[in-house]
Amino acid sequence: MNLKELVGIEAAKFVKDGMTVGLGTGSTAYYLVKELGRRVNEEGLKITGVVTSSKTEEQAKELGIPLKAIDEVDSVDLTIDGADEISADFQGIKGGGAALLFEKVVATYSKDCIWIVDESKMVDKLGKFPLPVEVVPFGGHNLFRLFEAKGYRPTWRKTEADELLTTDGGHYIIDLHLEVIEDPRALAKELDDYVGVVEHGLFIDMISRAIVGTPEGPKILEVPAK
């Protein structure tokens, strides 16, 4: 069993009958959704899923997991999602799979969030992984130039056909190659303030625990209460 599968299955144990569950996106969340599908079908687990992307929606539908849209629920009991980096103080970068906007919306309406990662994603400080910034197409190239001028080393997220990638929300993604982010909270605030930025991949104070896959087994890291 690979480490992503290991943490996907471990995280599914936190899902109980009757819960509304936010279903993350990516190659790790894939295993969570697969395991929840198995429990729904084999154990009669009763849940309602809220998806964070069209990709996850497709998988959940194939597995027969009952779904509601985020706007059909007032809140989500628990969201389980992957992450691209988790720092020592449990802040994160997400959006490697281009689903950051919907992931952050679902996380925002969730009473509890868990990230599932393999141990390679645990870092001291965030920033080696390029930080995704989702922008509206109108004026997006101006934002790109602005990020260049600020020394943020932007690149456009492209498709395999070398076209600008369009997210599920109909936006573009600019990846910032920052190497290290000394103050994620301050950068998050700065990015929130740019007109035309819809969302960014800095997820601040979002989770209660991380489940980390290691060759010795899954490690459950509880985030200290603030």
Annotated binding site for substrate: 25-28, 81-84, 94-97, 121
Token representation of residue 205: 């104070």
- Which conformational region is residue 29 in: left (phi greater than 0), alpha (psi within -120 to 50 degrees), or beta? alpha
Q: Which tokens is 173 given?
A: 């993604």
- Near ligand 5RP by CB under 6 A, which window of 10-18, 38-46, 94-102, 188-196? 94-102
Q: Which of 97, 140, 154, 218 binds ligand 5RP (CB under 6 A)?
A: 97
The one segment of 21-29, 134-142, 177-185, 212-220 that binds ligand 5RP by CB under 6 A = 21-29
Residue in 14, 50, 94, 127 binding ligand 5RP, rule: CB under 6 A: 94
Strands (DSSP E) along 164-214, which ranges? Answer: 172-176, 197-200, 202-203, 209-214
Q: Is 28 in the site for ligand 5RP (CB under 6 A)?
A: yes
Residues 6+ apart with CB under 8 A from 58: none
Residues noted as catalytic: 103
Q: Which of 6, 19, 47, 99 binds ligand 5RP (CB under 6 A)?
A: 99
The binder of ligand 5RP chosen from 98, 126, 207, 210 (CB under 6 A)? 98
Segment interacting with ligand 5RP, rule: CB under 6 A, options 82-90, 151-159, 166-174, 218-226? 82-90
CA separation for the pair 125, 207 (Å, rounded): 17
* Residue 35 vs 84, nearer CB to ligand 5RP: 84
Among 27, 48, 87, 166, binds ligand 5RP (CB under 6 A): 27
112 vs 146, which CB is nearer to ligand 5RP? 112
6 belongs to the binding site for ligand 5RP (CB under 6 A):
no
Report the chain's terminal Cα–Cα distance, integer Å.
Answer: 35
Q: How buried is residue 125: exposed, middle or buried, by Cβ count under 10 Å (0-12/13-18/19+)?
A: middle
Considering only CA atoms, which of 25, 160, 188, 5 is closest in space to residue 92? 188
Amino acid at 209: R
Q: Point out which residues bind ligand 5RP (CB under 6 A).
A: 24-29, 81-84, 94-100, 103
